[in-house]
């Protein structure tokens, strides 16, 4: 039986109401012991426990509903040198498409924490804006100076081949993302 429910508890409740075995003389009392939290996840397996402590089978929730028309995250491309940056800026200028560059370092915990969040943000703006990252330890200092980078993570927006604005991410990730969204909105016009 395939049942689509918003979470495993709703599915369990539906099974309790429909299954006469669960409504027998023990008062119909049963509880749900979830092996993982939350519904809507693919492959969540929950065990049904009766009031008297016995186990009854497994309830498998195979529902996973999300908007698959858009990806949930887009992997940012790496910029490996000055020539690479020049080519990307030339392409963005030709296409009249702004780009976002995340200046980061592999040793920077906040940078590592921010990268997947920026990749989710990239999915929101795809294909209007492309997102890139530069690991400052893997490129020349001339490239780092060109970006005028002093702290990391620094998230910059470039438009028409020129630097337009930046957010230096030394505070909470959700605040940084809000500031990046605001920066993008101001420079999309």
- In percent, the amount of the chain with pLDDT more than 70 equals 63
Catalytic residue chosen out of the listed positions 9, 16, 30, 108: 108
Could you report the per-residue pLDDT of 118-138, keeping only the tens digit for each? 999 999 999 999 999 999 999
Could you report the per-residue pLDDT of 43-75, keeping only the tens digit for each? 444 555 556 666 566 555 555 555 556 678 899
Could you report the per-residue pLDDT of 95-122, keeping only the tens digit for each? 999 999 999 999 999 999 999 999 999 9
Is there a catalytic annotation at residue 9? Answer: no
Is there a catalytic annotation at residue 16? Answer: no
pLDDT reported for residue 158: 97
pLDDT reported for residue 14: 55
Q: What angle do CA 86, 89, 93 make, to 5 degrees?
A: 140
CATH 3.40.30.10 occupies which residues in the chain? 77-187
pTM greater than 0.85: no
Evaluate if residue 11 carries a pLDDT over 90: no
pLDDT reported for residue 60: 54
Name the helix (H) or strand (E) containing 13: helix 8-18
Catalytic residue chosen out of the listed positions 9, 16, 30, 111: 111
Residue 166 contacts residue 99 (beta carbons within 8 Å): no
Q: Which CATH class is domain 77-187?
A: alpha beta
Q: Is the peptide bond before 112 cis (omega within 30 degrees of 0)?
A: no
20: confidence class by pLDDT, cuts 50, 70, 90: low
Terminal C-alpha separation, the chain: 51
Q: Which of 66, 138, 60, 64 is nearest to 104 (CA)?
A: 138
């Amino acid at each position: 039986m395939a049942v689509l429910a918003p979470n495993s508890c709703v599915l369990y409740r539906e099974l309790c109401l429909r299954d006469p075995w669960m409504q027998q003389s023990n008062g119909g009392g049963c509880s749900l012991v979830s092996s993982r939290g939350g519904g809507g996840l693919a492959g969540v397996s929950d065990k049904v426990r009766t009031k008297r402590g016995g186990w009854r089978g497994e309830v498998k929730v195979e529902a996973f509903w999300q908007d698959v028309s858009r990806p949930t995250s887009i992997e940012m491309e790496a910029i490996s040198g000055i020539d690479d940056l020049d080519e990307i800026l030339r392409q963005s200028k030709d296409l009249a498409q702004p780009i976002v560059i995340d200046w980061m370092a592999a040793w920077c915990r906040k940078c590592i924490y921010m990268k997947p969040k920026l990749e989710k943000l990239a999915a929101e703006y795809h294909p209007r804006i492309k997102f890139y990252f530069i690991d400052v330890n893997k490129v020349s200092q001339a490239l780092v100076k060109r970006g005028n980078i002093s702290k990391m993570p620094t998230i910059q927006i470039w438009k028409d081949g020129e630097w337009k604005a930046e957010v230096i991410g030394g505070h909470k990730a959700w605040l940084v993302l809000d500031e990046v969204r605001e920066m993008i909105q101001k420079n999309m016009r």
